[in-house]
Amino acid sequence: MLLCVTLPILFNVMESKAELLQVVGSEAPLIAVAGEDLVLPCFIKAKTSAVDMTVEWYKLDKENSLVHLYKDHDDVNENQAQTYRGRTSVFKEELQKGNTSLKLSALRVSDEGEYKCLVENKSMSNEITVHVIVEVQGSQPVITMESYDNSGGINLVCESRGWKPEPEVLWLDREGDTLPAEDTQIHRDAEGFSVKRRITVYDYSNSNRFYCRLMQKHHMMETTVVINSPFFSSGKWIVGILVSSCLIAAGLILISVVLCNKDIHRVKQNADQQRQREKHEFMKRRKKFAEMLLCVTLPILFSVMESKAEQLQVVGPDAPLIAVAGEDLVLPCFIKAKTSAVDMTVEWYKPDRDHSLVHLYKDHGDTNENQAQTYKGRTSVFEEELQNGNASLKLSALRVSDEGEYRCLVENKSMSNETTVYVIVEVKGSPPVIMMESYDNSGGINLVCESRGWKPEPEVLWLDREGVTLPAEETQIHRDAEGFSVKRQITVYDYSDSNRFYCRLLQKHHMMETEVIINSKFFAAGKWIVGISISACFIAVGLILISVLHYKKEIKRVKQNAEQLRLAKENEFMKKRKFAVDVTLDPDTAHPELKLSDDNKEVKLGGKKTLPNTPKRFKYNSVLGKQSFCSGRFYYEVDVEKKIEWTLGVVKESINRETWVERNPGSGFWTIKLRNNTKYNANADPPVPLTLREKVEKVGVFVDYEEGLVSFYDVNSRSLIYSFTGQTFTEKLYPYFSPRYNEDGKNADAIKITEVN
């Protein structure tokens, strides 16, 4: 009897627990940037379908504002808060899986706060809270050249506005090291945080590059300024003139001071020939515009042709689609009479040499087994729109290689039709960098604006603070595998107390600019230099005598400078050796005719062996190091003393190991070689002949992955042989070795990886 009583009770309890509605979401706050889209997660824990339920999203503010309401199988947003209209949606195709998440588009600062996701059916309900934090990236930082410092430096000020939350402001040198600066000045208003930080910089090299970087927890923005040595020398000229004016009675002392200043200027000009490397800047992505493009083109497409009864007519855009690399793009394709395509076949392909399959919808699903590798995971059709005749394709994370012609083929059992869509992919280059190059004889300052990696070629403009275009020299344009690099020079003059100049780069649909502010004091310094130069002509006769007296002293100073230069190069080489790593040869990559030592430190040509034919193994006379590198810096040394031919360097992981290819950076090789015991070449494109004073016995190889630098050194003379600069590495790098052929025994010795002492 007890069993009869308790059994129904237990079943009722278990049934009520099974039917309990449990909603889960994100416990941690969601952090996003204003302007982006954000998904607020909300799920029914047991993946129970929410298609027949009510899903209500509202904000926990003073009015409990309705954000979005799904009810009776549709959106019911008549009472939706005005600020959210047109910006919210639920994933209707995911409701059957219990996914009641909300997509909130074009995020605003006012969207920050707590949101409730309430899910209910006829008998029960449950809700969760999601907290949203909206960050705002402020304006591009602007660097102002404010004044000269009494100690010979230049005072720079970095400013930016409109940040939320407050950013950290850093000044960095060309090596990325943080420089000491004054405390950050912070001001908050309705637009957010405004920041300002001042620093005094000094003449470190011929091309002094300084960065102002603003950082939030998840974002970063920076601006660069390059100040050449003559501008630091100008400050010293001004100080020298003020001191000399007090001692004008002593004529010889005045001339000596001028001479000393000239000597200092000459030494700095000698140092100006050391090195100059460019740094790639961060690229920002634009907002996605695929949905907007679809909305714009839809009415156009349906008005192009007259409908014909019982005929399958497919239409697309007449004009090319233009988009930016990295964004998503919708390629429009519609059946004109809005005939359902659910039961049809929709094939997107690229009519290139291989007729690459881009996407195939067939038998009510995606059938992409034969899809071209480059499109895997990046394509989709709008399955919920197929019933309306919409066969458009969404192509995500656009690449430069996606540019070209596409065909949309729609067919049923009795007929087919297709349309052509042409895609143009634009690439925005690096943010422009302004370099203060030199003073002009007429009292102006020569500025140079540079940027890299554009496609197509951008227009370069210089503008004043009013936005008026300034006359400048012709744009210098260079094209390589990364796109167009541009450079344009201008001479600017003192127009006001705060001279603001803009360098603007324009494409048809995009713009990028950098500005610099130059205080009037810097133009005054240039006029001082012109005045000094004229005065020097009148005292030239008097200087002849002093010049003779200083001749021997000058010769000694030149020798000292040369010695200092040699020591500086030697010191630079020794710094590279601090990044030494232990490299061994990888037998699994060695060509069968190569013989490796037991410790995998030496390789030479030997008898042919039967080895497993694996994808890693070279089909030509080469072997890789076992160690790979995908970040940081590394250095190793190779003994080639007894060799008359060899090839050394680094390669990327995906190089062609099956057949011989040109060994240049375009093929993933960064190498140098020796042929016939005397001919050295860098395997650039085109090859660069190298002139060396003596035979290299030991080669040092240095790589800075982030800087895009591969350098080769003569270890014995501690001198640079050749550098590949400005490279872009995107995959693992491996040390590369080729001992070449025996040459009748003249080249039979091994290449040896040696320990760095």
pLDDT tens for 590-626 read 999 999 999 999 999 987 888 888 899 999 999 999 9
Average pLDDT over residues 637-651: 95
User: Whose structure tokens read 């996605």?
Assistant: 288
pLDDT at 369: 92
**What CA–CA distance (Å, rounded) separates 371 from 380?**
12
Residues 6+ apart with CB under 8 A from 656: 667
Give ranges for CATH 2.60.120.920 in the chain: 587-754
> Within 10 Å of residue 307's Cβ, how many Cβ atoms?
11
Q: Which residue has the higher pLDDT, 240 or 36?
A: 36
CA–CA separation, 445 and 468 (whole Å): 18
Q: What is the pLDDT of residue 6?
A: 45
Q: How confident is the model at residue 148 (pLDDT cuts 50, 70, 90)?
A: confident
**DSSP H stretches of helix in 517-650:** 520-538, 540-549, 551-577
* Ranges of CATH 2.60.40.10 domains, the chain: 20-135, 290-426
- For residue 277, pLDDT over 60 is answered with no
Name which of 132-146, 173-187, 493-507, 688-702 the model is least confident about.
Answer: 493-507
CA–CA separation, 703 vs 709, rounded Å?
6
**For the chain, what is the largest distance between any 2 Cα atoms, rounded to a whole number of angstroms?**
131
Q: How far apart are CA 21 and CA 55, in angstroms?
A: 13
Which H/E stretch holds residue 395?
strand 393-395
The per-residue pLDDT for 673 is: 95
Give the SS3 label for residue 599.
coil
pLDDT for residue 238: 56
CB distance 700 to 710 below 8 Å: no
> Mind listing the pLDDT tens digit for each residue in 330-384?
999 999 888 899 999 999 999 987 888 999 999 999 999 999 999 999 999 998 8
Return the pLDDT at 151: 78
Lowest-pLDDT choice from 246-260, 485-499, 681-695: 246-260
Non-local CB neighbours of 123 within 8 Å, separated by 6+ positions: 19
Q: Does domain 20-135 have CATH number 3.40.50.620?
A: no
pLDDT at 237 over 80: no
Q: Distances in Å between the alpha carbon of 9 and those of 2, 15, 17, 293, 312?
A: 11, 10, 13, 60, 63
Q: What distance in Å separates the CA atoms of residue 523 and residue 240, rounded to the nearest whole number?
A: 17
pLDDT at 74: 93
pLDDT at 5 over 50: no
| Per-residue model confidence (pLDDT) at position 245 | 52
pLDDT at 311: 73
| C-alpha span between 346 and 383 (Å, rounded) | 11
pLDDT band of residue 571 (cuts 50, 70, 90) is: confident
Q: Given this model, what pLDDT does residue 564 score?
A: 81
Mean pLDDT of the chain: 83
Name the band, by pLDDT with cuts 50, 70 and 90, for residue 228: confident
Which residues lie closer than 8 Å to 755 by C-beta, 6 or more apart?
A: 637
Contact 709, 724 (CB under 8 A): yes
Angle ∠(40,43,49) on CA atoms, nearest 5: 130
- Tokens coding 92: 């209707």
CATH of 290-426, one of 2.60.40.10, 3.40.50.300, 3.40.920.10, 1.10.1660.10: 2.60.40.10
Please tell me the predicted confidence (pLDDT) of residue 374: 92
> What's the pLDDT at 526?
56
**587-754: which CATH number, 3.40.430.10, 3.40.1550.10, 3.30.499.10, 2.60.120.920?**
2.60.120.920
Averaged pLDDT, 87-92: 93
pTM above 0.85, yes or no: no
Query: What is the rounded average pLDDT of the residues 465-471?
Result: 88
Beta strands, E only, 136-219: 142-148, 154-163, 168-172, 185-189, 192-201, 207-215
DSSP state of 232: H
In this prediction, residue 674 carries a pLDDT of: 95
Mean pLDDT, to the nearest integer, of 68-78? 93
pLDDT of residue 104: 94
Residue 516: CA count within 13 A, CB half-sphere: 25
Say whether pLDDT at 322 is over 70: yes
